[in-house]
Amino acid sequence: DTEVTQTPKHLVMGMTNKKSLKCEQHMGHRAMYWYKQKAKKPPELMFVYSYEKLSINESVPSRFSPECPNSSLLNLHLHALQPEDSALYLCASSQAYTDTQYFGPGTRLTVL
Amino acid sequence: GESVGLHLPTLSVQEGDNSIINCAYSNSASDYFIWYKQESGKGPQFIIDIRSNMDKRQGQRVTVLLNKTVKHLSLQIAATQPGDSAVYFCAEKGQTGANNLFFGTGTRLTVIP
């Protein structure tokens, strides 16, 4: 089973709202990732968690706050976003640093 | 930093023909490359990967070729089917010790029935 699940599938929020994106995998993978993908562009790495610890933050603004409650779950907390943050947010996981990353279907976020 | 690019943004092929999607990279120290397929409204789907100690790797209907001399990567799809229509990304593993991928710009493949 190489499934990564993400909820919600779609999210519309105002600039003053607080919301969270969720990602889950049950493959026993120890590394999890958040990517942002704008329309007609490739995915861009935001955060990397390894063994539930944040290992990479690609200079992401503080209005995005990641959280890894356990080895199967990854959250992305959103607060005071801007319209330009509207994008597809992808979660991925891999067995370890050196292994293939498997992506979830993404959450389509629209900020009004 | 790494730079991964594709030669053509779009490619149209007839159903049943073979497709070739190309990718150039700039970091000669890169040692791991992956091809992903992304259909509309979905996340990237792993197709095939290759390490720098190999020149060629084959999967089901797909072959990846790596030419380290000219830093070029290609994905060949045999007997292309309508279900192959998607955006294809090559990705390069970063060299910072972690598994951060750098994606190319993508090629949209359209299969004409």
pLDDT > 70: what percent of chain B? Answer: 88
Residue tagged 């192959």 (tokens): B84
- The terminus-to-terminus CA distance of chain B in angstroms comes to 41
CB A20 within 8 A of CB A40: no
List of chain A residues whose C-beta atoms are within 8 Å of the C-beta of residue B64: none
Q: Is B99 on the interface with A (CB under 8 A)?
A: yes
CA–CA separation, A30 and A70 (whole Å)? 10
Residue B8: the pLDDT is: 55
Beta-carbon-side half-sphere exposure of residue B39 (alpha carbons within 13 Å): 11
The token pair at A111 is 């900020």
Task: Report CB contact under 8 Å: B105, A97.
Answer: no
Residue A56: the pLDDT is: 81
Residue B98: the pLDDT is: 57
Among candidate residues A21, A33, A23, the one with its CA nearest the CA of residue A94: A33
Beta-carbon-side half-sphere exposure of residue A71 (alpha carbons within 13 Å): 9
Average confidence score pLDDT of chain B: 88
pLDDT tier for residue B101 given thresholds of 50, 70 and 90: confident
Radius of gyration of chain B (CA): 13
Q: Is a pLDDT exceeding 80 seen at residue A13?
A: yes
Q: Which residues of A lie inside 8 Å of B (Cβ-Cβ)?
A: 2, 4, 6, 31, 33, 40-45, 48, 50, 55-56, 58, 90, 92, 94, 96-106, 108
Residue A7: the pLDDT is: 97
In the predicted model, what is the mean pLDDT of residues B102-111?
92
Most B-contacting residue of A4, A37, A51, A103 (CB-CB within 10 A), to test interface? A103
pLDDT tier for residue B1 given thresholds of 50, 70 and 90: very low
Radius of gyration of chain A (CA): 13
A98 three-state secondary structure: coil
Q: Is a pLDDT exceeding 50 seen at residue B2?
A: no
pLDDT tier for residue A2 given thresholds of 50, 70 and 90: low
Residue B57's contacts (CB-CB under 8 Å, 6 or more residues apart) are B48, B49, B50, B63, B64
Residue A18: the pLDDT is: 95
Residue tagged 């292309």 (tokens): B80
In the predicted model, what is the mean pLDDT of residues B83-102?
82
Residue A40: the pLDDT is: 86
CB B28 within 8 A of CB B4: no
Closest partner residue to B43 (CB to CB) among A96, A98, A106 is A106
Closest partner residue to B43 (CB to CB) among A94, A96, A103 is A103
In the predicted model, what is the mean pLDDT of residues B85-94?
90
Q: For B12-66, what is each residue's pLDDT tens digit? A: 999 999 999 999 987 888 888 999 999 998 999 999 999 999 999 999 999 999 9
Q: State the DSSP string of B56-80.
A: EEE-SSEEEEEETTTTEEEEEESS-
Please tell me which residue of chain A has the smallest CA distance to B46: A102
Q: State the DSSP string of B40-51.
A: TTS--EEEEEEE
